């Protein structure tokens, strides 16, 4: 007989997972969800199976904050292997081109890295989850099909050279949403006068989460066995420190939770974090252009039952 289904429960919060190499982001998400027995879970931006590091897993009401984190800047550390280019842009692919590696003079490496700072365009790699006519690009690439991809606007906020060997360079990059580090690595190698691919990739920061301790899957599953999971959860509003807070009265809170706007002074045309009686985080709202009315946009708490459902 099949094992009985494990009952799910309501869990709200964010877990900063240190995803290991060799595991897809979805597989890692499902293990965290099973450990917490959470009814609902999502993550904020996939990491390739060969990549490791910060994967913010949002549980319960925190899944409504995923969109804010998807748009956030991200920081990665990566090793660029020089002298060979692969079909995938990383070490998982087959070698498709080779070239000599020129002397890696520090001043030249730093100057080339600096030339990538700011806004530019980048052509997404074929081995990506973007779609072309409804089909994932990586599926087309595996079938030997290459299609034209439109360049996209990206921003490199920071690109620091960390170290070097005879045929490799280590970098740390902070970049905007939609930046492919594999493509950046190939472009860096080309600017250096050779070819290259990303040999290792680790995400170290995501939006507001820059220094918090990440949890391994083993630590999460051990905490589940000892009933210590709640201590691993970050509050839902920890994903939104850039939004100004607005405190509501009890009457205003009741109206907001029923989807109605309220008269309230605040910053004009701005998204805000809404807090109810006792400092409870309610979700995200938006102030009117004149800063006199607040309307709810994303409620991130369980709504009270309607009078009809109590009857």
Query: Hey, which residues are catalytic here?
Result: 48
Topology at the third CATH level for domain 75-201: Pseudouridine synthase (3.30.2350)
pLDDT digits (tens, 9 = 90+) for 219-259: 999 999 888 898 999 999 999 999 999 999 999 999 999 99
Mean pLDDT of 104-122: 96
- The string of pLDDT tens digits covering residues 128-159 is 777 877 788 778 888 887 888 888 999 999 99
Model's pTM, two decimal places?
0.90
Is 13-71+209-238's fold the same as 75-201's? yes
Closest C-alpha to 200, from 218, 214, 181: 181
Topology at the third CATH level for domain 13-71+209-238? Pseudouridine synthase (3.30.2350)
Q: What is the chain's Cα-based Rg?
A: 23
3-state per-residue secondary structure call for 63-102 = HHHHHHHHCCCEEEEEEEEECEEECCCECCCCEEEECCCC
Query: What's the chain's length in residues?
Result: 311
Angle between the N-to-C axes of helices 217-225 and 25-36, in degrees from 0 to 180, rounded to the nearest 10: 20
Domain ranges of the chain: 13-71+209-238, 75-201, 243-310
Query: Is residue 198 predicted with pLDDT exceeding 90?
Result: yes
- Please state which architecture CATH assigns to domain 243-310: Roll (2.30)
- How many angstroms separate the Cα of 194 from the Cα of each of 99, 103, 113, 130, 159? 6, 11, 15, 28, 19
Confidence of residue 305 (pLDDT cuts 50, 70, 90): low
> Which one, of 173, 215, 201, lies nearest residue 89 by Cα?
201
Determine the pLDDT at residue 311: 43
pLDDT at 194 over 90: yes
Query: What phi, psi does 16 have (nearest 5°)?
Result: -95, 95
Identify whether the C-beta of residue 90 lies closer than 8 Å to the C-beta of residue 183.
no
Tokens of 101: 């590696």
């Amino acid at each position: 007989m099949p094992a009985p289904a494990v009952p799910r429960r309501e869990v709200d919060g964010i877990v900063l997972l240190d995803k290991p190499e060799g595991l897809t982001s979805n597989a890692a998400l499902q293990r965290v969800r099973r450990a917490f027995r959470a009814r609902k879970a999502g993550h904020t931006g996939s990491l390739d199976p060969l990549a490791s590091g910060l994967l913010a897993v949002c549980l319960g009401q925190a899944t409504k904050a995923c969109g804010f984190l998807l748009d956030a800047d991200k920081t990665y550390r990566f090793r660029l292997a020089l002298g060979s280019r692969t079909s995938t842009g990383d070490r998982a692919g087959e070698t498709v081109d080779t070239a000599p590696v020129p002397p890696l003079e520090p001043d030249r490496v730093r100057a080339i890295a600096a030339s990538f700072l700011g806004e530019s365009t980048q052509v997404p790699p074929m081995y990506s989850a973007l779609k072309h006519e409804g089909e994932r690009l990586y599926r087309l690439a595996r079938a030997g099909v290459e299609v034209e991809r439109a360049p996209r606007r990206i921003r490199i906020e920071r690109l620091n050279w960390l170290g070097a060997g005879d045929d490799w360079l280590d970098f740390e990059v902070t970049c905007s949403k939609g930046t492919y580090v594999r493509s950046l690595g190939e472009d860096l190698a080309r600017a250096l006068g050779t070819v290259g691919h990303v040999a290792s990739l680790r995400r170290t920061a995501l939006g507001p989460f820059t220094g918090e301790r990440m949890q391994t899957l083993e630590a999460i599953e051990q905490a589940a066995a000892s009933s210590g999971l709640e201590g691993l959860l970050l509050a839902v509003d920890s994903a939104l420190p850039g939004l100004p807070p607005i405190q509501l009265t009890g009457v205003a809170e009741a109206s907001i939770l029923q989807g109605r706007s309220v008269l309230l002074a605040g910053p004009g045309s701005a998204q805000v974090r809404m807090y109810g009686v006792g400092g409870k985080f309610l979700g995200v709202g938006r102030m009117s252009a004149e800063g006199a009315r607040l309307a709810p946009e994303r409620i991130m708490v369980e709504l009270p039952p309607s009078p009809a459902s109590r009857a």
